[in-house]
A and B are shown apart, each in its own frame.
Chain A
Amino acid sequence: MLSGRAAGEFWEDGAGSIIFQPGAVEPWRIGETLAECFLEDRQNAEFPYPASRNQKTGGEPGAGADLVGYSAGGTTSLFGEVKTSSELRYPPPAATGGKGTRWQLARLASSGCVRKRLIRWIAFNVLESGGDGLERCKAAFDSYAAKKKVTAAGVLIRDVPPDRRDIESVFSHTRGHTREGTKLDVLALYLPIPVSDLPRRTGLT
């Protein structure tokens, strides 16, 4: 669909030039993928639908989450936020700033409205895929409807030495907003290479 621009399409310039411009994949996108892979490998999470980047962080339409899938066993929904940062501070401003990770994760952990929307989004993806995964989706919904069970995950991707302060601040802030039934996971992944080098090192230049 991205190949070739049909003559007379809306996006020959403006938005189209952004969508179709060649260029490196941004490090933050790779960071989100890394977070997904880590959770899948180490925590048996599943992300059956494409990882995506929120275009907006608040209001309708568009607000959502970076990670949308299922936690271990596939019976509970998992929603998460990922921040990739090359800042030096602990925790980085991206985690604690105005609409940073802390704020976004707290929203996922507490806002019924946001969570229901994300569950509906999963359901409609099930529909789009012809019904694959309906049972799993239903089990996760039942789990949420009956016991409000959901996993909210916050993942920091950093290229500095590990430090507990990265997750303590986020965790303690978010815990205060977390609803009953919500499992809160806060992780920090520390890369051995600079964040800025991710595109080159992964071949996504």
Chain B
Amino acid sequence: MEETGISLEGWIGKAGAAAHDDAVRTGISKAVRRGGAPELKNAEAAEQVARNYELAMVEFWKSALDAGPEDLEKNRALVRMCRKCFGMMEACPIPGEPAKMITHVLKILAYAYLGEKWEGARRYLKENKRVWDVAPAAEKGWDRRVLAHIYLAILHVTRKETREDLEQSARIMGEMEKGRGTYEKEYLEKTDDGDKLGAARELAALYQLAKAVGLVSTYMRDGSPADVEERLDTHFQKAEFHSSGAGTKELDILLAILNPAFKKMVRNSVWTLARLPGRQGRFARMMMESSRPVFELLYPQRLAMLEKGLLGSAKAVVASLPASSDKTTMAEFRILQALESARGGVAAYVVPSEALASQITARLRRDLGAPPLGVRVEKAGGAPHVDGFEEEMVSGEADLDVLVTTPEKLHLLIRSPGSRLAESLVLAVIDGADCMSGGAGGLGPEMLLSTIKHDCARSDILLMAASVPNGREIAKWLDPQNSRSIGADPDWRPGDRVVGLFRAEGRGRSIETFFRPLATGAWTVSANGEFRVGSADGFALPAGKVKDTRYALASLLATQFDPSRNLLVLGRGPGEAWKMADLICRSLPEPEPDGERLLARKFVASELGAGFPLVKYLDRGVGVCHAGLPDEVREVMERLMEGGRLRVLAATTSIARGMDFPVSGIIMASHSYPSAEMPARDFWNLADRAGRIGQPPMGVVGLATGNPDDGIEAEYVKEAAKELTSALTGMVHRALDEAGGGALDLSRLAEDDAGWSGFAQYIAHMKNRIPDMGRFVEEAEFVLGRTYGYRKLPQKERHALADAVRKYAERLYKNPLASRLSGLTGFSPETLGGTMRAVRSAGIGRGDWNAGSLFAPASERLSALVGVMAESIPEVKKSMDIPASGRISTEGMGGVISDWVSGVRMAEIAEARFGRSGAGHVTERVGAICGIAAAAARGMDAVQRMPGSGLDFEGMTREQRSALNLPAMVYHGVDSDGAVLMRMYGVPRGAARRVGEAYAREARDVRAGASGVLSWLEELPDKSWGPGSGATMSGAEYKEVWRRLAGAVPAAGGRDLEAVRLRARPSPRSLSARSAAAPGRNTALRRAKE
């Protein structure tokens, strides 16, 4: 309040602070304790404070009116004040007497709207069923009946769960109009003469209010009349005139706040977007017509799209939008805008992880894929190489509108030989731009943006992040002349959130747990003192162990929260995640059976063996997620969590970065990654998962601490998110520190560090575009200046970096082949030089690049190839290393790869190739198999491109290269092109071979093209999906798993699946046209096999 000079204390008084604290404490108690809704200690004080907040709001309102709409601070102060009003009134008990209840509830709804929290109004209506218990017919007196009708109509138009709510609102007004003829005259005749005029004026006021409600219902349903706000003003002016004449004070107050509240509702309406031209307008209409319609935009969405120019003409936009703003919807509109204005262009949607890429792809296909939008969405997976299908996607010949991928992959795709992406890219949406500051995201996003700026002249950029205090600066960097920075009120949150520390005390088996909220200064509620969470007498571990061991405490806490809350518990690594899952399961009762969970259980058992621990954890409603699990299993876990089918998901801090689903609570046994402390920005990104829309009103985020008094965690959570800084800047500082005054050696740095490796690739890419060393030296500073980080470096460090870059470039120019390959593979030129020698020595020939022989059991060529990769490519060697559980030979690795590609199940590979089984070993082996496959795929891709491999890779046509899709087979664990294609579209590995064969048999052009493949998969009979030999899942079950992974079945709250049930199949004519245009992959494949 200080910023406006208005003192809230003057209105609230000391009683206010106590009442506010009471309300917050009640909310926190409700959030952390199981069962029951605690009451306010002093409801009367709370009501008084709520009234006082209303009075204070008058002052803020005046201040905002005086200042005008441009004064953001004063307007924000008013909005925050209304939000406080809403929060306080929401905490107050609902009056029993109907007339008082009506006034109370209408005020809550109005303040919610004025506080930009309409979603809170909806939640309030959903949680408090009692407020719907109003029957106009039971009211005595026509005046009360009218008010009851109006009240119910407002409730329906606020809830708007379906179109039926809006219809019902209109029907209620119709009923009221019918009743007027019957009851009004009688009511007025019975009224005393002295009161008759007042009664008539009051009715007149209510009738005008009813008209306003009817108008809003109609507008939200139909988008008309266009002059709705002017009409609302007219009705309210008349209502206020009559009400003041009647002396009905409370009605005066209601009218004063309902008018602006209704206007907010109208301004939030999706109809404004429905008036946009082309597919944007159609998309908006589809949003309102779907089975889970969206009629209103959230505050950040309205602000960004309708008021601040996210859909304007700026070439670069940096949008700082709070969590749970549904940024994806905003991106969808921007994508449609870009595709409309640049026919034939491609938009890229960039996310930090492959898991998110899958999630976003499913969402975009569902929302935008169906007619009449017909947007063609593809995903380029996280594999660090470009396979044949991906090469085709970016060749300019594929049917592609939107490409969803990670920063590193997009960078690779832009640089890939034959890629036309640089010319066709018209928009790059970078979601989660927070990763630009490094951390686990490395240097990828920053270098990608630099590359897009330089190489993709047509491309606009939309950068979205939760908090970008320096958004304007970054926007200027992206485009000095035509850029925009958009920021929503950082205090906006759909729900409250409390952050604090958990601890335990007790002896023996008797344990009590407590929660202490912390004042973080970052959009969280807080209260003094501690809150008791619960007590336990039969937990698997004694009190001493629980008190001293964070993961044990986190596990106990997870069993104590209310079962209605879904929780994410985070450990430092996979080991802790497993331990927590095990402890939690021992204390949880078996939940009600759930079809989705059963299906997931079967899938996990099928892939990883019936004895895999996750199978029995799922029976208890507990999931596990970490990097050592196969991608599809992780995705299934996330879909279950998103759909509310899991009570607890035990995961690691690292993997949680890539998750984006709402939870009601997060319990952290660690705030570190395995190798470093989690930066504050990452912590707050994670914390933002709690308390989102659709979740209970207060999200809980807590650190399970062994010693709450040491203050370390308390200081940690107080660290606010800093500016979006450059990862490169930090890397240069650290490298120069380590060099102790010496020069930087880019080659050596790139070998040891993924971030420097990414930077080296960027330099190699730049070098490849400048054929002359002399010119490169001249332009080195210019090249570097395109990066955000270089500009932020002090002069001395800039020179050091520029010097290192020049020296590195000299080596590249001396070895042009290695530098070219470096840009494509991500391996350093020095590494590649050694690899080329090893490849020549190995005597690998053209005939070895044959899937049938290469992946045959005990294939010597495969072993030789693995040997070359493991010995000569340090990055591959590191990934193939299996710590702790013993090393296996290159023959053994070859066997793993051969089994993997041939479709052998993971559990069987683990047992056959790694020896001893048992739950703990199986989980380690599974992680090792995934690591070996990914590393081998990357290494194989590099080796194929080298001289001495027997292939003239660069001299081949794209189709010929595509026929050698062997790295993709290794990556996806299948042995045919058709199966690779199926894996790209989310078909589980266990079914991909059969389904791929079916696809190839139907003489389909085995190439990427969502409109054909997805609809074909949807219509493929169950029996074609399986089961295969030894499989435990039926064909129908595999298909159902696929539908969930592909997003055909929304996990929760998603819009329905018209987009995936595409009716448009490629016509025979279009198939033959494509076949005529290119010889066809099948032809090339047959030739390769011959």
A residues apposed to B, CB below 8 Å: 1, 10-11, 14-16, 18-19, 26, 28, 49-50, 52-56, 59-64, 66, 116-121, 123-128, 130-131, 134, 137-138, 141-142, 145-146
Q: Given the complex of chains A and B, what is the CA–CA distance between A157 and B245 in angstroms?
A: 22
6 closest Cβ pairs, A-B complex:
A55-B198, A52-B247, A131-B62, A10-B207, A18-B200, A15-B200
Q: Given the complex of chains A and B, what is the CA–CA distance between A128 and B238 in angstroms?
A: 14
Tell me whether B55 and A15 are in contact (CB under 8 A). Answer: no
A127 contact set on B, CB distance < 8 A: 58, 61-62, 256
Of A10, A137, A141, the most chain B CB neighbours within 10 A belong to: A10
Tell me whether A64 and B207 are in contact (CB under 8 A). Answer: no
| Shortest CB distance A82–B (Å) | 12
Contact pattern, B 173-199, Cβ under 8 Å of A = 1, otherwise 0: 000000010001100100000111111
B245 contact set on A, CB distance < 8 A: 50, 52
Closest to A61 in B: B250
B97 contact set on A, CB distance < 8 A: 60
Q: Any chain A CB within 8 A of the CB of B51?
A: yes
| Shortest CB distance A50–B (Å) | 6
Of B62, B195, B238, B249, the most chain A CB neighbours within 10 A belong to: B249
In-complex Cβ contact of A123 among B55, B184, B244, B248 (8 A): B55
Q: Given the complex of chains A and B, what is the CA–CA distance between A29 and B52 in angstroms?
A: 32
CB-contacts of B4-33 with A (<8 A) = 10-11, 13
A60 contact set on B, CB distance < 8 A: 97, 99-100, 103, 250
Contact pattern, B 965-983, Cβ under 8 Å of A = 1, otherwise 0: 0000000000000000000
Closest to B241 in A: A1
Pull 15 A–B residue pairs with CB atoms less than 8 Å apart, ordered by A: A10-B207, A14-B180, A14-B200, A15-B200, A28-B194, A53-B197, A54-B198, A55-B246, A56-B199, A60-B97, A60-B250, A61-B251, A64-B247, A123-B55, A127-B256
In-complex Cβ contact of B207 among A11, A52, A119, A131 (8 A): A11
Tell me whether A124 and B253 are in contact (CB under 8 A). Answer: yes
Tell me whether B55 and A61 are in contact (CB under 8 A). Answer: no
Tell me whether B246 and A145 are in contact (CB under 8 A). Answer: no
Tell me whether B55 and A50 are in contact (CB under 8 A). Answer: no
Q: Given the complex of chains A and B, what is the CA–CA distance between A66 and B195 in angstroms?
A: 13
B194 contact set on A, CB distance < 8 A: 26, 28
B11 contact set on A, CB distance < 8 A: 138, 141, 145
How many Cβ-Cβ contacts under 8 Å join chain A to chain B? 146
A126 contact set on B, CB distance < 8 A: 58, 62
Q: Given the complex of chains A and B, what is the CA–CA distance between A56 and B59 in angstroms?
A: 30
Q: Given the complex of chains A and B, what is the CA–CA distance between A134 and B59 in angstroms?
A: 7
Q: Given the complex of chains A and B, what is the CA–CA distance between A127 and B55 in angstroms?
A: 10
Tell me whether B199 and A120 are in contact (CB under 8 A). Answer: no
Q: Given the complex of chains A and B, what is the CA–CA distance between A61 and B13 in angstroms?
A: 28
Closest to B191 in A: A55
Q: Given the complex of chains A and B, what is the CA–CA distance between A127 and B48 in angstroms?
A: 20
Q: Any chain A CB within 8 A of the CB of B1014?
A: no
Tell me whether B249 and A117 are in contact (CB under 8 A). Answer: yes
A146 contact set on B, CB distance < 8 A: 13
Tell me whether B197 and A121 are in contact (CB under 8 A). Answer: no
| Shortest CB distance A17–B (Å) | 8
Q: Given the complex of chains A and B, what is the CA–CA distance between A14 and B207 in angstroms?
A: 12
Q: Given the complex of chains A and B, what is the CA–CA distance between A142 and B54 in angstroms?
A: 14
Closest to A116 in B: B51
Tell me whether B250 and A62 are in contact (CB under 8 A). Answer: yes
Tell me whether A18 and B247 are in contact (CB under 8 A). Answer: no
B180 contact set on A, CB distance < 8 A: 10, 14
Tell me whether B59 and A138 are in contact (CB under 8 A). Answer: yes
* Given A62-B246, A64-B247, A141-B55, CB of A131 within 8 Å of CB of B65: yes
B103 contact set on A, CB distance < 8 A: 60-61
B246 contact set on A, CB distance < 8 A: 52-53, 55, 62
Closest to B207 in A: A10
Q: Any chain A CB within 8 A of the CB of B391?
A: no
A118 contact set on B, CB distance < 8 A: 249
In-complex Cβ contact of B204 among A10, A116, A145 (8 A): A10
Tell me whether B58 and A121 are in contact (CB under 8 A). Answer: no
* Given A127-B256, A138-B59, CB of A16 within 8 Å of CB of B204: yes
Contact pattern, B 204-240, Cβ under 8 Å of A = 1, otherwise 0: 1001100100000000000000000000000001101
Tell me whether A55 and B195 are in contact (CB under 8 A). Answer: yes
Tell me whether B244 and A52 are in contact (CB under 8 A). Answer: yes
| Shortest CB distance A72–B (Å) | 23
In-complex Cβ contact of A55 among B54, B65, B247 (8 A): B247
Q: Given the complex of chains A and B, what is the CA–CA distance between A39 and B839 in angstroms?
A: 106
Q: Given the complex of chains A and B, what is the CA–CA distance between A10 and B201 in angstroms?
A: 12
* Given A62-B247, A62-B248, A145-B13, CB of A128 within 8 Å of CB of B197: no
Closest to A64 in B: B249
Tell me whether B198 and A15 are in contact (CB under 8 A). Answer: no
B256 contact set on A, CB distance < 8 A: 124, 127-128
